[in-house]
Amino acid sequence: MPGGFRRKRAREQWRVRVDVNGLMRGVVGDAGLADEDLAAFAPRFDAMPIGLERRVGFPVVPGKTDLKRTAQLADDTRGRFDDLVVLANRELARGIRALVDAVPVGAADPDRPALRIHLIDGIDPDRLAMLLGRLDLRRTLFDVVSAAGDALDTMSQFLIVRDRLLQELGAVEYKQHVVITTAVAAGALRQIVNDEGFRDLAFPPDVDDRCAVLTPAALFPAACAGADLGALAAGAADMAARCDTSDVAANPARLLAIALARAQGACTVVAPLRLRALAAWIEHGGTGPHAVPLVLFLTVAERADDDEELPKTYQDLDSIGHLGGQRLATLGELEREGCELALWSVGRPTVTVVAPQVDEYAVGQIVWLVHTAAALARALAEPAADVAAPLAERFAWGLAGRPGYESERAEAQRLAGRKETRYVV
């Protein structure tokens, strides 16, 4: 649907829908909600602080300036490089993979083909060494992504990559093989950009890695893979507009947020193979250790052009013969429906998100929907803050000898001293 999303009728036709029938009492029994229960959530949403959507944890719809600069930089790489290696932390890398795998790549221009995307999302010396060993560094671009510009995993690997590029390409040429995405105003990476003149993109302020999928941090790799950033942004903007209503029953994000809050943020996603990376990104972040996860079905309404019809054979075998003449996509949907109905029969709530087709416009809608619903669910449930995650990074810095983290180093060593060899068998 290239450009079709600009027409109102087309936007209506290609909108992602949220089906919460599986959340209602008439379907799943006592575990479900009645209409009045949904309505009762309205005051809780309305009581949320003004400006909540601008806090960390909520997505932002990409602006025209960021889109244009990101798309132009990606376009400049096409035909010049064959591979893009993204150095980012695991949280952000999961979102990048979701975008890259979900969006279809159109007919490749033989003179400006899409790049192959490789993600390095944690300290793994063997994996990094194998990747660097098989890539032609003269045809490889490295994208270093870190908001603060001091992440231990990202920066340690950047130092290795930079040294390798310097040795092979020289002090002038190597700079053309690095793009840095980091905060505009401060941080070690920003200082490196200013000192060495690398090409760079802006990591927006007050946006954490979980919510950076619609920022240049993830959009640049997606564009290098061939994604239409305009369609992604338009999808996100359309979903944002649809969710700008206080009517809970008409607000997709609020409906999904209610389901997630009741499950304490825990979510299991059932999706077709081509959306598995997107499903993994959606699943990540459940906070309820004792919750029964919400089952979220991610489905595609449009049948693939290459959908196979099963041949009519083995007609004498009742358990197989009935399959003849049916199509694979139909059978896949029947399998999903059987799973959904089985959950309803035992009182397990479900939600189904239906995309008309898999394209950038649909993916943009889904990303904005899930981001916002998850953030609203956290605000509804008010879970305990995760104090371990920031401590883990500070302890790692201390153990690695970073100046200013001597107390964290001492505390980490004290805790490590509690271990006893008799408990290792």
DSSP string, 139-200: GEEEEEE-SSS--HHHHHHHHHHHHHHHHHH-TTGGGGGEEEEE-SS-SHHHHHHHHH--EE
Give the pLDDT confidence score for residue 79 in this predicted structure. 86
Phi first, then psi, for residue 305 (nearest 5°) are: -65, -30
Give the pLDDT confidence score for residue 52 in this predicted structure. 60
Give the pLDDT confidence score for residue 53 in this predicted structure. 56
Comparison of pLDDT for 179 and 52, the residue scoring more: 179
Average pLDDT over every residue of 115-134:
91
Superfamily of domain 4-40+232-381: Glucose-6-phosphate isomerase like protein; domain 1 (3.40.50.10490)
Characterise 288 by phi-psi region: left (phi > 0), alpha (psi -120 to 50), beta (else).
beta
Share of the chain above pLDDT 90, in %: 51
Looking at 4-8, 77-81, 302-306, 388-392, which range is the least confident one? 4-8
Please determine whether the domains at 4-40+232-381 and 64-227 fall in the same fold group of CATH: yes
Average pLDDT over every residue of 123-129:
90
Residue spans per domain, the chain: 4-40+232-381, 64-227, 388-423
**At residue 189, does pLDDT exceed 80?**
yes
**At residue 314, does pLDDT exceed 50?**
yes
Helix pair 360-381, 229-242: axis angle to 10 deg: 40
In 305-423, beta strands by DSSP E: 350-355
Looking at 90-104, 234-248, 252-266, 303-317, which range is the least confident one? 303-317
Q: Please name the residues in contact with 47: beta carbons below 8 A apart, sequence gap of 6 or more.
A: none
Buried b (16+ CB within 10 A) or exposed e, 60-81: bbbeeebbebbbebbeebbeeb
Give the pLDDT confidence score for residue 191 in this predicted structure. 92
* Mean pLDDT value across the chain: 86
Band (pLDDT 50/70/90 cuts) for residue 378 is: confident
Give the pLDDT confidence score for residue 123 in this predicted structure. 86
Give the pLDDT confidence score for residue 396 in this predicted structure. 87
Band (pLDDT 50/70/90 cuts) for residue 330 is: confident
CATH fold label, 64-227 = Rossmann fold (3.40.50)
Average pLDDT over every residue of 225-239:
93
Band (pLDDT 50/70/90 cuts) for residue 205 is: confident
**At residue 366, does pLDDT exceed 60?**
yes
Looking at 80-89, 153-162, 381-390, which range is the least confident one? 381-390
Average pLDDT over every residue of 411-418:
86
Tokens at residue 311, please?
């041949």
Looking at 4-13, 94-103, 267-276, 366-375, which range is the least confident one? 4-13
Band (pLDDT 50/70/90 cuts) for residue 107 is: very low
Share of the chain above pLDDT 70, in %: 88
In 290-405, beta strands by DSSP E: 294-300, 350-355
Average pLDDT over every residue of 52-79:
80
Looking at 54-63, 137-146, 171-180, 187-196, which range is the least confident one? 54-63
Give the pLDDT confidence score for residue 111 in this predicted structure. 66
Band (pLDDT 50/70/90 cuts) for residue 78 is: confident
Q: What is the CA radius of gyration of the chain?
A: 24
Give the pLDDT confidence score for residue 58 in this predicted structure. 63
Q: Which residues are bridge partners to 189 per DSSP?
A: none
CA proximity to 238, closest of 359, 366, 357: 366
